[in-house]
Structure 1
């Protein structure tokens, strides 16, 4: 089921709890799995640090996140969400948003501990966002919007690779040439 989401997803959020170092345990594995399923060297992904409203329980510091994002030239934002972890594919945005809280709650303990956030995200250049869904919610929607931006940045790169050769129509009598085009 997980790989099926990966095949159809246009982008991915990898979310961990800042209050649980064990949530870092599987980030690398999920990242590699996404790249393997997509058969690509890079793909739109965002790392989301969740539960930033629980400062007294925090084990992953904001400085670690900033350092990680700076070294990768990534965007970094702060926020908070009621549930600890979400790792999911964004197929249609609204569909994923409706399942967000379920995924966040049930996947908390499955993500990542053994990896140093600094080394991992330096190597993979993944944007980093901190969220909290506690009232008032902080950056929950922004995480999804940022992922859409990352996905859209990939689209021009794909279209440049698939560019067709330009067809020219020439008027031999006058020596003028016109580009054949269609307006949709």
Structure 2
């Protein structure tokens, strides 16, 4: 309006214009335009954070009141710590720990792949499309790629290796290490003292 006042229409409160510069920040914080911005004041987790992370790693369904009691902090502090750890990227998500054998995936193996480096970029999408592959790491050493695979039986493992992995462009050799027993499984690894 010419006199600088906003008028109410049909009983609604006047709308206030959001400053143009704050819109992208608000959208980014809400995840609308990609990943959240990194916090500038991020720091390594302290002992309280480690208690909170440990509680969530043991059971991601643990309630905020129980987490607060474990960490000996208020509910608000526990909530704010979890939010900060999430915003800082320390907590990247919450997941289920499945018993793969009970899901019919009784064979776990590490497959080491060696080959010519230029072809690996082209093979990323192909490797990502194989549902048997739980993890895929590019590594340095005697192999170029290490895969953690889970299959129902050795026939499926043989099929994956001989007909699909060894057929990828640039693969010169594979080595398979079949897991016979899981000795240690830590969803969260703490730094050594």
Greater relative CO, 1 or 2 (CA 8 Å, sep 6+): 1
Give the structure with the larger helix fraction: 1
Shorter chain as denominator, the TM-score bin is: under 0.3
Q: TM-score, normalised by structure 1?
A: 0.20
TM-score by length of structure 2 reads 0.19
Higher Cα Rg, which structure: 2
